[in-house]
A and B are shown apart, each in its own frame.
Chain A
């Protein structure tokens, strides 16, 4: 059983379009995240959610809008896509208690903006 699953795995789209990436975790975790990994492999946190509430927004442009309908899901919607949005986006989850401990990552969603 996949613990953290993201769809789609690959996404190719034109500049200016709007797209969404979905994430689901079946680990019963309280906290979920979105990370962006650029072409140099730098992995940067974008958002953290705890029990459906946004707790970290790491100066991400407001074209990016995360939505957490419940604890097990965290989706990422991106408006007006730009070339610089091309990257691999990773969803992750962790236990929320104590704000410490390991993260469980999905397999990533590779977004290519043409």
Chain B
């Protein structure tokens, strides 16, 4: 069953603006991961936030996690054309760990130069 659901499905913004993507999930988690997929390529890990963390930063990325609402957000600041990609969240379920990391359909982000 699909666990991580990203919202919106698609997002287009001007270069230099900030992009925010959201993720909702259904059951308790160990952590939540975000991945990027460029067109025609494999997924690349971006950031992992543990269930006891509320916010994490990595370069231009900021991830928040609200376990009470079972939701997470990914913020990309000062977007660049190279950020054009699909972004997936992957909740790591408490019962399974990363043996059964589940993904959704992603948010397709387009950065307009």
* Interface set of A (CB-CB < 8 Å, partner B): 4, 31, 33, 35, 40-45, 48, 50, 55-56, 58, 90, 92, 94, 98-108
Enumerate 27 A-B pairs (CB-CB under 8 Å) in ascending A order.
A4-B42, A35-B103, A41-B108, A42-B2, A42-B103, A43-B88, A43-B105, A43-B106, A44-B103, A45-B102, A55-B99, A58-B100, A92-B42, A99-B97, A99-B98, A99-B99, A100-B31, A100-B92, A100-B98, A102-B33, A102-B45, A103-B90, A103-B98, A105-B42, A105-B43, A106-B42, A107-B41
CA distance A107 to B35 in the complex (A): 14
Number of A-B contacts (CB under 8 A): 70
- A31, A40, A48, A90: the one contacting B42 at CB < 8 Å is A90
Distance (whole angstroms) from the CB of A57 to the closest CB of chain B: 10
B13 at the interface (CB under 8 A from A): no
Partner of A42, one of B92, B99, B105: B105
Q: A98-B97, A99-B97, A102-B48 are in contact. Are A41 and B106 (CB under 8 A)?
A: yes
What 1/0 flags go to B68-90 for Cβ under 8 Å of A? 00000000000000000010101
Chain B residues with CB under 8 Å of chain A are 2, 30-31, 33, 35, 40-45, 48, 86, 88, 90, 92, 96-106, 108
Closest to B43 in A: A105
Verify A48–B2 contact, CB threshold 8 A: no
Which residues from A are CB-within-8-Å of B105? 40-43
By Cβ-Cβ distance, the 5 closest A-B pairs, closest first, are A99-B97, A105-B42, A102-B45, A43-B103, A105-B43
Q: Which residues of B contact A55 (CB under 8 A)?
A: 99
Question: Residues of A contacting B92 with CB < 8 Å?
Answer: 100
Given contacts A41-B105, A41-B106, A90-B42, contact A100 B30 (CB under 8 A): yes
